[in-house]
Structure 1
């Protein structure tokens, strides 16, 4: 990084220097994430990054409704319903009646696919654990909030 500029705060690092570093880093991160191939058992399903987010929620947080998934993914329930239908037809997800309310459908990963999906998520999860473990809870929260703020700032017309 270059020499700090005036008015850069107590840490001496210029915002522009940090922006430059991140502009160079982000394409490499995205490129590496895209190169993580799905496991052999899932390759024939043509899964996309949007599927990875949905599957992550179901794997880490357990079964949930389409509306719950839509809220977490911040997309319309119809979008999630289409993805769930597609993945259900492929034998990756299943929908079942909610025992507490038979009008609702619960979505879950089929047991046979759980190991392959967990294997697909494992490299990314391990890398994040390595990066985040040395940080304090407050620093982790700030890091996640910073990424969320970046996402919001680059979002154009809700896309």
Structure 2
């Protein structure tokens, strides 16, 4: 079958039509087409967020700092090695992120009371509310989007993003 390339493409669906199509289900090809359109827009939107990158005490803090800070907050003390593993980054990179968070007063390193050979990274006591405000600002759009989904839809979405990340980063 020959395709006439001079014909105009069908008009772009509006958000409500796309949402209705998603409710009815879409083919893998339609899903791929929409993701190819959406992922660059999402990436640009995340980079333009007022909450990040920000500069505190001449230290620029970006999305990776936010991810590290969220993990530190969630774990109430974590080693640099555990952060490196969770973020899939090298030890030197994560050590630099932690140093940046220390310089702005968000994080501190201290000996692990259970094993003095280990060093834990924690939120600086007294800065918890400032950290929370910064993290909320950085994650608010994602939270609002996820809250619009049912629990089973959130589970499927997160699983799909994990599968996509795995496919994009697996050699071969």
TM-score w.r.t. structure 2 length?
Answer: 0.71
Offset, 1:33: 1.1
In the alignment, structure 1 residue 64 sits paired with structure 2 residue 71: no
Take 1:22 and 1:98, find their aligned partners in 2: how far apart are those partners? Answer: 44
CA deviation string 1:80-125 (max 9, x = no partner): 2232234324433210011111001110122354333322221343
Structure that is richer in strand per residue: 2
What residue is the counterpart of 1:50 in the other structure? 64
Moved over 6 A (4+): none
Shift of the 47–125 alpha-carbon distance from structure 1 to 2, 3 Å rule, reads closer
What's the RMSD between the two structures over aligned residues?
A: 2.7
What residue is the counterpart of 2:165 in the other structure? 151
Shift of the 93–72 alpha-carbon distance from structure 1 to 2, 3 Å rule, reads same
- Compare 93-102 and 123-132 and name the one that shifted more: 123-132
What residue is the counterpart of 1:107 in the other structure? 121
In the alignment, structure 1 residue 128 sits paired with structure 2 residue 142: yes
Structure 1, gaps ≥5 residues long: 3-10
The secondary structure found in structure 2 opposite 1:96 is strand
Structure 2, gaps ≥5 residues long: 1-11, 14-23
